[in-house]
């Protein structure tokens, strides 16, 4: 199981990807296009050309995890453009075919006031 945590670095490949690529092909895209090390423990998110499917790639220190979600109907409504950086809660909304930028969420970190 892939656990998406708030401290995890998240990168999305903005352009659609050929989903015949497996782990090695997607890891190559991480290196060449995103200029990131796929073995860094970051989460990489990809979308297919028809906008009906996501793939998530991460390395847990022991091996790669590759997860795919394909919608049973319809298309993915939102996909980040350019330098948009997604947080862990926004990725959760995205995976449920929501618009993470249009969703009001609490801040990821709130200061805790110490009692006096």
Q: Do 39 and 60 touch, CB atoms closer than 8 A?
A: no
Q: How much of the chain, in percent, has pLDDT values that exceed 90?
A: 52
pLDDT given at position 86:
83
CATH class of 10-95: alpha beta
- Of 55, 11, 2, 3, nearest to 30 (Cα)? 11
pLDDT given at position 109:
66
Model confidence over 73-96: pLDDT tens digits? Answer: 989 888 877 766 788 888 888 888
From CA 7, how far away is CA 90, in angstroms rounded?
13
pLDDT over 80 at 110, yes or no: no
Q: What's the mean per-residue pLDDT of the chain?
A: 87
Q: pTM of the prediction?
A: 0.83
Question: What HEC string does 47-69 produce?
Answer: EECCCCEEEEEEECCCCEEEEEE
Residue spans of the domains in the chain: they are 10-95
pLDDT given at position 115:
78
- CA angle, 24 then 26 then 31, to 5°: 95
pLDDT over 80 at 41, yes or no: yes
pLDDT over 70 at 32, yes or no: yes
């Amino acid at each position: 199981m892939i656990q998406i945590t708030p401290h995890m670095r998240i990168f999305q490949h903005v352009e659609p990807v050929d989903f015949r690529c497996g782990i090695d092909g997607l890891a190559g895209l991480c290196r060449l296009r995103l200029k990131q090390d796929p073995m860094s423990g970051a989460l990489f998110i990809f979308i297919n050309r028809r906008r009906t499917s996501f793939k998530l790639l991460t390395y847990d220190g022991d091996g790669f995890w590759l997860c795919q979600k394909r919608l049973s109907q319809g298309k993915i409504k939102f996909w980040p453009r350019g330098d948009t950086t997604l947080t862990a809660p926004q990725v959760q909304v995205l995976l449920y075919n929501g618009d993470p930028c249009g969703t009001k969420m609490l801040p990821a970190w709130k200061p805790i006031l110490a009692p006096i």
